[in-house]
Amino acid sequence: MAFGKAAAAVACAMVLTAPTTSAAPDNSVRRVEYSLGDRAFQVPGFHTEPGGPVADLELTAIVHAPRTLVGKRPLVLLAHGFWKPCQGEQWAWPCPAGDAFPSYRGYDYLGEELARQGFVAVSVSVNGVNAGEMGEIADVARAAVMSKHLEMWRDLNDGKGPLTRMLSGFKNHVDLTNVGTLGHSRGGRGAVYQASDKHIAALPRGVRIRAVLPLAPAGYYAPDPEAPENLDYRITKIPFAVVAGDCDAIAGQAAGYVTNAQGRNLVPIHLVTPKRANHNFFNTEWSYDHDNHCADGPTLTQEEQRKVATSYIPAFFRQYLLNRRNPIVSEGYQGVDVVTHQPIG
């Protein structure tokens, strides 16, 4: 049975406060990076440019995890969106040595908070995808890079694969059947493509995604609501939350993912609109002062917008990966004129 066919928009009031676990000391979080190199991976059919050679892609990530791991912890995979791959003007991959733009480090603040709350957070680099072809084939490549990292973590958990030489202390402590994914901007489009009903069976063996959060996701192209392209981005069996600020030019595109699933969804979906939030402040590497104005006034500050992210996003994953029902997710909140939330289904 599909839920949400007659669902109305709901907005409930709640004081916006950071979770109490935010007070945990910094030494409660372990941070480690890994990289297999800038030419470690290829996606068949994804090229440097139409008609060009198959693109070389990096397998690079930063991990935030509880310093002490007890039992198996859920994994949350983060993926950034479209930004220049190199610090200089070169739009190609690989970049000159030491010149790669660290977009994947832009969510360190969020990864730290997720780790404080018991998750293993892995933020992956997709600069090589950004230097290649555009359009849906780039979503295929983003999804493939995300899945490759999940496959490597599954192997690490079993004591095999390349990450065993790079990471210690994780074997048998990460639950790859309890994964959450978050993609920002075009990374959100890739995350939805990966978890869609049409493509979910392509996940690596033994990996299961149980919650998806497209963060300010760029829209995809479909000529009309019944076009087959919608199926590539339709999630009906996995809870998901679309989060996009009302000072974000692509907020309307982002809402399209809810429209695509609404009335067909078998599990809850959510549309969350942080008031006065823009597109870039969710990523610290993308944030510049000139981004802080809407058409009718200032946006949230960078710190305020990240407070929204570290309040809502961990609560969402706690609910669906740890089975801890949270009013912030289930009922929505509007803390001090910050967020409007619409649970659907």
Radius of gyration of the chain (CA): 19
Residues with Cβ within 8 Å of residue 10, at least 6 apart in sequence: 331, 332, 341, 342, 343
Measuring CA to CA, how many Å separate 162 from each of 149, 159, 249? 11, 10, 40
If one counts every other C-beta atom within 10 angstroms of the C-beta of residue 27, the result is 7
- The answer, yes or no, to whether residue 92 has pLDDT greater than 50, is yes
Residue 4 pLDDT > 90: no
Residue 141 is given by DSSP the state H
pLDDT value at residue 338: 39
Nearest Cα to Cα of residue 184 among 37, 313, 332, 275:
313
Mean pLDDT calculated for residue range 214-242: 96
Mean pLDDT, range 30-49, rounded to an integer? 97
Among residues 263, 265, 254, which one has the least CA distance to residue 220? 254
Q: What is the CATH class of 20-344?
A: alpha beta
Q: How far apart are CA 127 and CA 269, in angstroms?
A: 30
- What are 299-308's pLDDT values in tens digits? 999 999 999 9
Confidence of residue 331 (pLDDT cuts 50, 70, 90): low
Nearest to 291 by CA among 334, 245, 222: 245
pLDDT digits (tens, 9 = 90+) for 160-175: 999 999 999 999 999 9
In angstroms, rounded to a whole number, what is the distance separating the alpha carbons of residues 159 and 142? Answer: 26
Q: Are 244 and 255 in contact (CB under 8 A)?
A: yes
Residue 29 burial (CB count, 10 A): 18
Burial tier of 163 (Cβ tally within 10 Å: 0-12, 13-18, 19+): buried
Sheet holding 174-184, edge to edge: 29-35, 60-66, 120-124, 73-79, 174-184, 209-215, 240-243, 269-274, 339-344
Where does the pLDDT of residue 16 fall: very low under 50, low under 70, confident under 90, or very high at 90 and above? very low
User: Tokens 């693109």 correspond to what residue?
Assistant: 55
Single out the residue of 184, 198, 189, 89 nearest to residue 139, CA to CA: 189
Q: Please tell me the distance from the alpha carbon of residue 87 to that of residue 280, in angstroms, as a whole number.
A: 17
Closest CA to 138 of 96, 225, 80, 90: 80
State the average pLDDT over residues 215-230: 95
Q: Which two tokens stand for residue 244?
A: 């996009």
Residue 89 confidence (pLDDT) = 78
Is 203 in contact with 171 (CB distance < 8 Å)? Answer: no
- Span 67-76, pLDDT tens digits: 999 999 999 9
- What's the chain's average pLDDT? 88
**What pLDDT band is residue 289 in, cutting at 50, 70 and 90?**
low
Q: In this predicted model, what pLDDT tens digit does every residue of 122-160 receive, in sequence order?
A: 999 999 999 999 999 999 999 999 999 999 999 999 999
Report which of 270, 315, 308 is spatially closest to residue 118, judged by C-alpha positions. Answer: 315
Contact, 23 vs 344, CB < 8 A? no
Q: Does residue 290 have a pLDDT over 80? A: no
Confidence of residue 345 (pLDDT cuts 50, 70, 90): low
pLDDT of residue 1 exceeding 90, the answer is: no
Q: Which amino acid is at 232?
A: D
* Predicted pLDDT at 266: 92
Tell me what pLDDT residue 332 has.
52
C-alpha pair distances (Å), 275 with each of 123, 209, 243, 246, 316? 26, 29, 11, 6, 18
Domain definitions of the chain by residue range: 20-344
Strands (E), the chain: 29-35, 60-66, 73-79, 120-124, 174-184, 209-215, 240-243, 269-274, 293-294, 297-298, 339-344
Distance between CA 314 and CA 317 in Å, rounded? Answer: 5
Task: Report the pLDDT value the prediction gives residue 344, as an integer from 0 to 100.
Answer: 64
Once rounded to an integer, what is the mean pLDDT over residues 69-90? 94
